[in-house]
Amino acid sequence: MRTMRVNWLPLLLLALLPTLTTAAQGPDAPELEQENLRGTITPQREWWDLRHYDLAVRVDIEKRTIAGTNTVRFQTLKPGRQLQIDLQPPLELTAARFNNQQLTFSRKGNVCLIDLPSELPAGESCELILEYEGQPTESRNPPWSGGFSWQKDSSGKPFVATSCQGIGASIWWPCKDHGYDEPEEGADIRLTVPAGLVAVSNGRLIKRTAEPATETETFHWRVTNPINNYSINANIGDYVNFGEKIQAECGPLDLEYWVLREQLAVAKEHFREAKRTIEAFEYWFGPYPFPEDSYKLVEVPYLGMEHQSSVTYGNGYRNGYRGRDLSGTGVGMKFDFIIVHESGHEWFGNNISMKDAADMWIHESFTNYSENLFVEYHFTQQEAEDYVIGCRKLVRNDSPIIGEYGLNRSGSGDMYYKGGNMLHTLRHMLNDTPRWREILRGLNREFRHQTVTTEQIEQYLARETGLELAKFFDQYLRGTEIPVFEYQVDGDQVTYRFTKVVDGFCIPLRVAINGQEVTLRPTGERQVYQASGPISTIEVNRNFYVLSEAVKF
């Protein structure tokens, strides 16, 4: 997710990149312990399965404090007595209750270890009530640094929002803060805010209750589908709303738009992009995954984020990425980057979610790739190719796309543009657009509402394409080199090979020789292609993310 000065490449490479926990140097022992507690399925996490969150938060905007409760409904998978609940300082857990009993708990940095009165057997359905309060971390650079954004609109009214991808939802509410376990039965979110303001969250608005004695109002939102923690959000402002119902592939779908009062007129015009986006992505990826919870665009005081059924928007009601074309081709100005990219996450990131932060590419590579699929659907295939290929200049090849497991560490920001080009290459290796579309749709069917691993995605793509992809993914996900197709022409023969590749790397590469396209299968070893006459030109199909170089062997 993510002003740029003349040299804006480094920031663009972080576009929409969640806050990473990787340090330039190795962490010391206490820091590593915290990373392990945050990123590992610890014994205090593995024995119980999340079923539902009921989060109630009272927001004091004047003091910039919050206080609330979270009722965690869970089921025991095996016997256990101690639970890990994550809550980051300076917020404090003030009480924990189970079966009307006050529980004891200890704190270890960002983690609270809660002791039950006795060991629970497997198969129990339980509720844990957590109370907490404090002054939450303020985000200094949302959405890349997590926390609350305490802003004002042009009329001086409060304009407040949360964002927490990467750093975790525990920066503003107590939860089981690991991607592997989502509440299968969804969540209720109750936000109490000063009277005169509106609070918007995920799912559907169930009820709003005025509290004259405290001059506040409570907005009760409900999500019925599984949801990852960082997708749950709170947005507070002088909101007005409008919407439409469309006939989508998933059936009737409510599109809701919550915007500042002062932006209502421009939003009614600009948010037509949402309907076009849903149409394109349903074509490529299958039905919208959360029709029960509706689709929303919510204006916020930062760039935007993929909060499930509550996509946040702050791109200034203009096309491009903050008015710029990331690809440098002009194509990026044909659509609103934030609406398209963040809505793409409804399929990749929210419908299909990573178990471990190291596999963030599953969210970001597919969603980056969705941008050029949007272009192809609404414009032309040529422009779509121009766009994704134009973004290659943003790739840094600084470190692998896959991060470190068990530490809440995402990989390189190349998961966006390099990852998108990797998938574009795979499509052209298959060279069968109808089949490719069905593979993408099948991916969202097979892993619907699930948390997954890289291994599962790799195996699915290999099975469905019929291609050997182990070395392909090693090259692009786990390495930092771009394959180089080296060739030497000698009359009617061309000698060729790949360099800068992992051992065993081989893909079906389409190459135009004298204008006639042929499929070669280069490896690290030299091979020879015999043409029917003298070779004058060789050109690798531009849709393959490889470099080419004429050499002398």
Q: Which residues pair with 497 in a beta bridge?
A: 486
Say if 10 falls within a structural domain: no
Say if 309 falls within a structural domain: no
| Pair 439, 536 in one domain | no
Which range of residues forms the domain containing residue 546? 484-550
Query: Is residue 198 predicted with pLDDT exceeding 60?
Result: yes
Residue ending a domain, choose from 236, 261, 290: 236
| Pair 86, 218 in one domain | yes
d(CA 1, CA 24): 22
Question: pLDDT-derived band of residue 26, with 50, 70 and 90 as boundaries?
Answer: low
- How many CB atoms are located within 10 Å of the residue 94 CB? 12
Say if 316 falls within a structural domain: no
| Pair 123, 207 in one domain | yes
Domain count, the chain: 3
| Pair 441, 515 in one domain | no
| Pair 432, 503 in one domain | no
Say if 443 falls within a structural domain: yes
Contact 244, 255 (CB under 8 A): yes
Which tokens in the block code for residue 301?
Answer: 């005081």
pLDDT of residue 9: 37
DSSP 116: E
Query: Is residue 19 predicted with pLDDT exceeding 80?
Result: no
| Pair 87, 218 in one domain | yes
Q: Which helix (H) or strand (E) holds 112?
A: strand 111-120
Q: Which helix (H) or strand (E) holds 527?
A: strand 527-530
Which tokens in the block code for residue 215?
Answer: 């001059």
Q: Which helix (H) or strand (E) holds 161?
A: strand 158-163
Say if 336 falls within a structural domain: no
Query: Is residue 2 predicted with pLDDT exceeding 50?
Result: no
Query: Is residue 272 predicted with pLDDT exceeding 60?
Result: yes
67-78: pLDDT as tens digits: 999 999 999 999
CATH of the domain at 422: 1.10.390.10
| Pair 81, 200 in one domain | yes
pLDDT of residue 20: 38
Amino acid at 313: Y
**Helices and strands of the chain, counted as H and E runs:** 12, 29
Q: Which helix (H) or strand (E) holds 205?
A: strand 204-211
Residue ending a domain, choose from 236, 256, 290: 236
504-532: pLDDT as tens digits: 999 999 999 999 999 999 999 999 999 99
| Pair 527, 462 in one domain | no
Say if 528 falls within a structural domain: yes
| Pair 488, 473 in one domain | no
Say if 22 falls within a structural domain: no
| Pair 449, 498 in one domain | no
Q: What is the mean pLDDT of residues 214-230?
A: 98
Q: ∠ CA 210-212-214 to the nearest 5 degrees?
A: 105
350-395: pLDDT as tens digits: 999 999 999 999 999 999 999 999 999 999 999 999 999 999 999 9
Which tokens in the block code for residue 90?
Answer: 């300076």
| Pair 188, 88 in one domain | yes
Q: If DSSP codes are grouped into helix, strand and coil, which group holds residue 278?
A: helix
Query: Is residue 21 predicted with pLDDT exceeding 50?
Result: no
d(CA 351, CA 363): 10
Task: Output the pTM of the full model.
Answer: 0.93
Say if 297 falls within a structural domain: no
Mean pLDDT of the chain: 94
361-372: pLDDT as tens digits: 999 999 999 999
d(CA 66, CA 119): 33
Residue ending a domain, choose from 180, 215, 236: 236
287-325: pLDDT as tens digits: 999 999 999 999 999 999 999 999 999 999 999 999 999
| Pair 59, 130 in one domain | yes
CATH of the domain at 507: 2.60.40.1910
Contact 520, 496 (CB under 8 A): yes
pLDDT of residue 13: 38
CATH of the domain at 114: 2.60.40.1730
